[in-house]
Structure 1
C-alpha cells in the first residue's frame, strides 16, 4: 500500500509539474502574441504620426518659401535703392536720368549710322 501511495503521489507531482510547465509555456506564448500585436499597433501609429509630420512639413516649407521670396525681393529692392543713392552721392547724377540719357545716346547713334549709310 505504501508503494501505491508513493507512486500515486509521485504521479500527482509529475502531473502537477507538467501542468505548471505547460501553463508557463502558454503564458510565454501569450506574452509573445500580445507584444507582437502592441508592436504592430505602435508601428501603425508611428507611421501615421510620421505621415502627418511630413504633411505639416510640406505646408511649412511652402510658407517659408513664400516668406523668403518676399523678403528676398524686398532686400533686392533695398540694395538697389541703396546703390542708386550711393551712385547719386558720388556722381551727382540720378541713375534713372543716366539710363534715359543712355537710351537717347543709343537712338542718336543709330540715327547717325543711318545718315552715314545714306551718304
Structure 2
C-alpha cells in the first residue's frame, strides 16, 4: 500500500469518527429540544429533567470520546506499522535482522548497566 493510500485511509477513519461524534451531538440536541417541549407540561419538574439529561449526556459524551480515542490510537498504530514496514522494504533491511539487532542491543545495554553498578 502506498504512503498516499495509508494517508487517505487514516483521513477517512478520522472523518468517520468526527461525523459519528457530530451525529451524536445533534441527536443530543434533538433530545434536549424534544424534552423541553414535553417538559412544559410537567410544571416544576423541568429543572430536574434537564439535570438528568445533562448527566446522561455527559456519560454518553465520555463513552463516545473513549471510543473515538481508541479508534484513533488503533489507526495511528496501524499507520506507524505500515510506515515502518515501508521503511524496512526501502532500506533493504530484513525484519528478522532488525529484531536480532534489537535483541543484541538490549543484551549489551543490560551488560553495560550491570557493569556500571559494580
TM-score of Structure 1 vs Structure 2, range by shorter chain:
0.3 to 0.5
TM-score normalized by the length of structure 1: 0.45
The structure that is helix-richer by fraction is: 1
Structure of greater relative contact order (alpha carbons < 8 Å, 6+ residues apart): 2
